[in-house]
Structure 1
Amino acid sequence: MILKTIKTDGLAHLSYFLGDGNEAAVIDPRRDIEIYIEEARKRGMRITHIFETHRNEDLVSGAPILAEATGANVHHGPNPAGVVSYAETTREGDRFEIGSATIEVLETPGHTDDSLSFVLYDQSFDDGPVGVFTGDALFVGDVGRTDFYPDRAREVAGLLYDSLQKLVGLGDQALLYPAHGAGSVCGSGMADREFSSIGHERRNNPRLQFDDREAFIEAKLAEEHPTPPYFSLMEKLNLEGASAMRRYLLPDPVSPGALQENGKTQLVDIRGIADFLGAHAPGSFCIPDDMLAAFAGWLLDPGGEVLLISRNAQQAEAAVRTLGRIGFDHVTGFLPGIMPVAASGNPFRSVGVVDTQTVKSRLGSDGWTLLDVRSAEEFDAGHIEGAQNVYLGHLADRIGDVPSEGNVTVMCGSGARATIAASVLLKHGRSDIDVFLGSTKAWLAADHPVVKP
């Protein structure tokens, strides 16, 4: 019996390939399914089952695509929001055999109504399950968010509490296989590791320390989680079933003139923070390639065309794949770097940066705004006195909250999100912008005070 974890960087998504003998199953596949096909091929296995722990909100499911490619059935939980068109409904107590492995279904609602966990047994050993695939119900160090049903907030938080009791009841020996790791928007307190057990979580996971159901519910109701607008598209696609990713490896390179040809095209500079600060095309979003999965869904229209500005073809190719995983299928081309723009006489811009001492000297100055674009949770944990907080994901919608006159210095945790925010401000016509490079980390390293509630 083999079990392989397949991680999708950026989204911190974890899927699993389980096989024994000549049969295999895949749990929570991503949209680009080649990796599962190759894994089965090299092991001489046939994928016979596909399991989904829930309807994903943050990425496009590859289940219908993998089913079409392999002939395997997709198994999904009961879903009051609608029928998952490509799946068979499975319920608690259903059992499936993959060689000498047995998968038993456990209904674990709370994160979503259709949430399932899949309990793994080895038929050669009878003393309890080997592990459990928990989806977004239970993570390493955290539990799933419960804010997708705001009109039923108390009810679904209680459902998750009950589901967690089921999972803890599987026994300390059971290994934990969640659908996400640290960095996912589906939780905020995940440990930075991808291995654990029910026993370790029972003893150490803060959300499993509640003996009182009502206290757990109150704690969940007090949480604040960002909800990118593209989540609604993911929900729709993962009910209807998305098409396969476009199979080209690379969009066509374009000339600098393409930057001026279509004002509706979304220019996305993926090169990196330092590259954008040094020189960039006017009107471009700065979203570095390793932050695309986190912020493209906040800043871009998934139905609109995208033109990438990248360091090279390889970076553009990886970005196309990342964007496809979250439903952005309209990348029309890429421009290799900013030098062709400058050399052709087209305009380019740069963004100034400031250090800790400069920010300290500006505190209390008239006509100056320190804009902190971290989440409300991060901001409340400690911020510079006088800073204004607008979360990066909400900035475009709250642009009117940022003073239109005077200098604006943008900060975050390190300067990366601040640079993305600077590009948003520039696109909205603000000009007197600079970035606090190092941001909160630099401020704390200099032993300067922060304000806490």
Structure 2
Amino acid sequence: MLLEKIKTPGLSHLSYLIGSGGKAAVIDPRRDCECYLELARAEGLEITHIFETHRNEDLVSGAPILKGITGARVLHGPNAAGNVEYAEIAREGDEFEIGQLKLEVLETPGHTDDHLAFVLRDTAYPHGPVGVFTGDALFIGDVGRTDFYPERKREVAGLLYDSLQKILALGDQVILYPAHGAGSVCGSGMAEREFSTLGHERVNNPRLQFDSRDAFIDFKVEENHYRPPYFRLMERLNLEGGEPAPRVTRPKRLSLAELEGLDVDHLVDVREPLAFASGHLLGSMNLPVGMISAFAGWFIREGESLAFIASDEDQLEGAMTHLMRIALDNVRGGYVGIVPAAAQGRTMNAIPMIDTEEVENRLDSNPEGWTLLDVRDADERAESAIDGSQHIYVGELNERYSELDPSRRYTLMCASGMRATVAAGWLASRGFDKLDVYLGSMGAWKSVHD
């Protein structure tokens, strides 16, 4: 008997393979789905079922691809705002046997209308379920967001509350298997832990401590969540069934001349922020490999072409893998080596770093034509902010950069300087040339002023 968790870095997506008696099922597979086949084959299991907890917004589902390879049945919930072309509909009370294991369907709307949870039972030990796959309804330390239906915000928040009660009624002994962990855009309060029980969550999860349904709803409708443009692409592909992932995840290696000869929509430098700030090719933006999953979907649109600039081949492969999982993988190639380009006489741009003392001096003197631009999210900003700063969330600069005046000087800040460098790189690629970054940002400010 097997239960294996598969984590997708960057997206903090959690999928699962369960198996017994020669059969296996996959819950919420990702687009690059060879890992499930390899695990199943290693255990002598045949994948016969694929279960989706909901239509994902933050990644391309691997269900139609895995179905095409294995012939497995795909089960999806009702009310998916369209026909999930590759799936059958599963409803409350449906049961599916995977050898000695049994999965029972719970309809758990709220995060999305089509949301399901799957209750895991061991038929050899029939007194109560063993676990539950909760998708994006219940996380460890948090619950699902309910902002996808703004015209029905109180209704869907109430639906999630009711769904959570249904899940918690399974019993405190039940092991929790959510679809995301800490770092996902699907929730902001998730624990770093990826193991828990319903009993532990019942007494420790802050979102389960409200004393009434109305109090829960009031809290949920006031939450702030951002919706990157690529969510719409994911929603469409996860109805239609996306194309298989590219077989080659390392983009074509480009020479400097080949890179300069390309006509692409975006030149994406995937090096670390400080490396980018110290020197980068003109016109490039900065999306470090570890931040691609969080921010690429804000700045890159469906079908747009890209070329990468990296420090090494591993960065190229990592960047390609992250983009492939969200179907923004029109990558024409990658170039390695900024220093060699500089040695060949190419002009480099740099973004200076400034410290707290310099920020304080500028705030005191209020120089003409200067703005301190805070690119943190709204919740961070509400908790603490520097008087005199302006606020635009880093992702929303994808369009709101047009509100800014390129003739002004901007100092970008966030919590540490990482997102600020991404923001500065985007502005630089849009023609802004009077930029610097507050290194340490709010962390440095608080260390002096708290």
| Structure 2 length-normalised TM | 0.97
- Partner SS for 1:19: strand
Listed as ranges, the matches of 1:280-291 within 5 Å are 280-291=280-291
Aligned residue for 1:185?
A: 185
Select 2:398's aligned residue among 377, 391, 396. Answer: 396
Summarize the alignment of residues 80-95 of structure 1 with structure 2, pairs less than 5 Å apart.
80-95=80-95
Render the CA deviation track for 1:137-161: whole Å, top value 9, x for unaligned: 0001111011111111111111111
Partner of 2:444: 442
Equivalent runs, 1:118-157 vs 2, <5 Å:
118-157=118-157
In 1, the alpha carbon distance for the partners of 2:326 and 2:79 equals: 21
Alpha-carbon offset, residue 80 of structure 1: 4.2
- Alignment correspondent of 1:252: 252
Report the equivalent of 2:41. 41
Q: CA offsets per residue over residues 387-429 of structure 1, 9 Å max, x none?
A: 1110000013112443444421111011110000001111222
Alpha-carbon offset, residue 20 of structure 1: 1.4
**Aligned partners of 1:256 and 1:346 also within 8 Å:** no
More displaced stretch, 1-10 vs 225-234: 1-10
Q: Determine whether 1:425 maps to 2:427.
A: yes
- Whole-Å Cα distance in 2 between the matches of residues 220 and 114 of structure 1? 19
What do residues 139-191 of structure 1 show as CA deviations (whole Å, max 9, x unaligned)? 01111011111111111111111101101111100011000011111111111
The structural deviation recorded for 1:280 is 0.4
Summarize the Cα distance change of 1:319–1:167 in structure 2 as closer, same or farther, 3 Å threshold. same
Are 2:272 and 1:272 equivalent residues in the alignment? yes
Residue 327 (structure 2) aligns with:
327
2:438 aligned partner, one-letter code: F
- For 1:138 and 1:215, the matched residues in 2 are separated by 18
CA distance in 1, matches of 2:265, 2:399: 20
Partner deviation per Cα, 1:218-245 (whole Å, 9 max, x = no partner)? 1111011010000000000000001111
Equivalent in the alignment of 2:52:
52
Retained in 2: the 8 A contact 1:369–1:403? no
- Counterpart of 1:366 in structure 2 is 367
Aligned to 1:311: 311
Q: CA deviation at 1:285?
A: 1.1
Counterpart amino acid of residue 366 in structure 1 = P
Alignment of structure 1 residues 349-388 onto 2, 5 Å:
349-364=349-364, 365-367=366-368, 368-388=370-390
1:338 Cα offset (Å): 1.1
The question of whether the paired residues in 2 share the 8 Å contact of 1:120 and 1:131 is answered with: yes
For the residues of structure 2 that align with 1:227 and 1:313, how far apart are their CA atoms? Answer: 31
Q: Is the contact between residue 256 and residue 344 of structure 1 (CA under 8 Å) also seen in structure 2?
A: no
* Cα distance in structure 1, aligned partners of 2:203 and 2:403: 44
Counterparts of 2:8 and 2:360, CA distance in 1: 40
Note if contact 2:108-2:117 (Cα within 8 Å) is conserved in structure 1: yes
Q: Which residue of 1 aligns with 2:218?
A: 218
Unaligned runs of 5+ in 2: none
Structure 1 distance, partners of 2:290, 2:56, is: 21
Instruction: Output the CA distance in 1 between the equivalents of 2:447 and 2:10.
Output: 27
Figure out how many residues of one structure are paired with residues of the other and give that number. Answer: 448
Secondary structure at the residue paired with 1:393?
Answer: coil
1:102-158 Cα deviation digits (max 9, x unpaired): 100000000001000000011121221111000000001111011111111111111
Deviation of 1:345 after TM superposition, in Å, equals 2.5
SS of alignment partner, residue 49 of structure 1: strand
Counterpart position of 2:205: 205
Are residue 345 (structure 1) and residue 345 (structure 2) matched? yes
Aligned AA (2:161): Y
Equivalent residue of 1:118, what SS? Answer: strand
Separation in 2 of the partners of 1:351 and 1:334?
22
Distance in 1 (alpha carbons) for counterparts of 2:265 and 2:411: 28
Contact 2:11–2:184, Cα closer than 8 Å, also in 1: yes
State whether residues 285 and 428 of structure 2, in contact with CA within 8 Å, keep that contact through their aligned partners in structure 1.
Answer: no
Q: TM-score, normalised by structure 1?
A: 0.96
- Write out per-residue CA displacement over residues 223-275 of structure 1, whole angstroms, 9 at most, x where no aligned residue: 11010000000000000001111101322111223443345431100011121
Q: Is the contact between residue 410 and residue 436 of structure 1 (CA under 8 Å) also seen in structure 2?
A: yes
Unaligned runs of 5+ in 1: none
Q: Which amino acid aligns with 1:392?
A: V
Distance 1:290 1:15 in 2: 20
Q: Distance in 1 between matches of 2:153 and 2:295?
A: 26
In the TM superposition, residue 200 of structure 1 has moved relative to its aligned partner by: 0.9
Which stretch of structure 1 is more off in the superposition, 278-287 or 342-351?
342-351
CA distance in 2, matches of 1:188, 1:308: 30
Specify the SS of the correspondent of 1:392. Answer: coil
Give the ranges of 4+ consecutive aligned residues of structure 1 lying more than 2 Å apart after TM superposition. Answer: 257-265, 343-346, 400-407
Q: Distance in 2 between matches of 1:167 and 1:49?
A: 22
- Tell me which residue corresponds to 2:416: 414
